[in-house]
Amino acid sequence: MSKVVVLGSLNMDVSIEADRIPSAGETLEGRDLLLGPGGKGANQAVASARMGAETLMIGSVGSDLFGSELIDSLAHAGVSTGYIKREAGDATGTAVVIRSSGDNRIIVSQGANHSLGVREVGDALSVVAQPDDILLTQLECAPLVVWEAIRHAKSLGMLVVLNPSPAHAIPADILPQVDLLCLNETECSAVTGCQQDGEESYRRSLEALIEGGAKRAVLTLGPRGSAALDENGYYRIPAERVAAVDTTGAGDTFVGTLSAFLSRGHELREAMEFATKAAALATTHIGAQGSIPTIEEVESAFGKDGENEWDTSNN
């Protein structure tokens, strides 16, 4: 079993529910305020650790209270935090999440996430990485640092899982170094330039990503499940029906679970099936990191044989 090394962001999430998204100049009353640990990198690291993979995170927080809380949250989930930098001159990353009608809108203040430099990430990877370990990364740290980390990871013999989120174009020389690209519809449109409007567009976009050099690609489609293109061709995994209350962190749960299962040598399809269940379960609680289930919680909710024992009455 190889380990999962996550390079990515840590944010404190300020999350609030509203009946609708306010218009320009409008103030709305919200409810169910939650202050909790988040950040795409940290959420994916927690998911990976809760699915039983040895997980280490490379990241950066400010030397403030939020930074300490975010590191504690990772350590509590079993993630190794020795390569998370405390940056005195920056505030810890913060995200404002507005939840409305079962969906969310997020604005991020990058803060210390963008203070990680190419050299310190490269030095950390050189020390911790073994061939066949997974580098799991996203785009909430500076993209230039991420691209360089991917090049370095490949030179060390690592497998690269890239979740290009938030949406950003990917340099042409990076795609051929990506072993698994996992992205949602918005991100897929940003990377391929193709609109996602149905089965044919999903298949064509995934084909374009593979033609661009990615070894395998997975497109997540929310309530419509996910689609993949790998050495077995194009296939779909249906979504699980659950009583969803908040989708924040569900995509991160999916990607972190995928990486944990791949680190244990599972086939991509099998990893996607379990990741779909884990992500569905994450939507049944409010918040990002706090709602990511353990492997045992997923098995007990859905049964080891994959049968859904979860309450679907609200859907």
Interface with ligand RIB by CB under 6 A: which residues?
A: 9, 11, 13, 38-40, 43, 95, 106, 108, 140, 248-249, 251-252, 288
Nearest-approach distance from CB 108 to ligand RIB, in angstroms: 5
Output DSSP code: residue 25: T
Looking only at the bridges linking them, the beta strands covering 93-100 and 103-109 are antiparallel
Q: With respect to ligand RIB, which residue has the nearer C-beta, 196 or 289?
A: 289
Shortest distance (Å) from residue 40 CB to ligand RIB: 5
- 118-128 and 143-155 are packed helices; what angle lies between their axes, rounded to 10 degrees? 30
**What is the C-alpha separation between 250 and 198, in angstroms, rounded?**
22
| Residue (117 or 166) nearer to ligand RIB, CB | 166
Examine the residue annotation and report whether 252 is marked as an active-site residue of this protein. yes
Residue number closest to ligand RIB, CB atom: 38
Residue 313 C-beta: closest distance to ligand RIB, Å: 27
What's the min distance (Å) between Cβ of 204 and ligand RIB? 26
Q: What is the CA radius of gyration of the chain?
A: 18
DSSP labels, 225-246 = -EEEEETTEEEEEPPPP---S-
Residue whose CB is less far from ligand RIB, 2 or 220: 220
Catalytic residue among 13, 90, 246, 252: 252
The CA distance from 191 to 218, in Å, is: 13
Determine contact, residues 139/164, Cβ cutoff 8 Å. Answer: yes
In the complex with ligand RIB, the residue whose CB is nearer, 14 or 75, is 14
Q: Among all residues, which ones are annotated catalytic?
A: 252
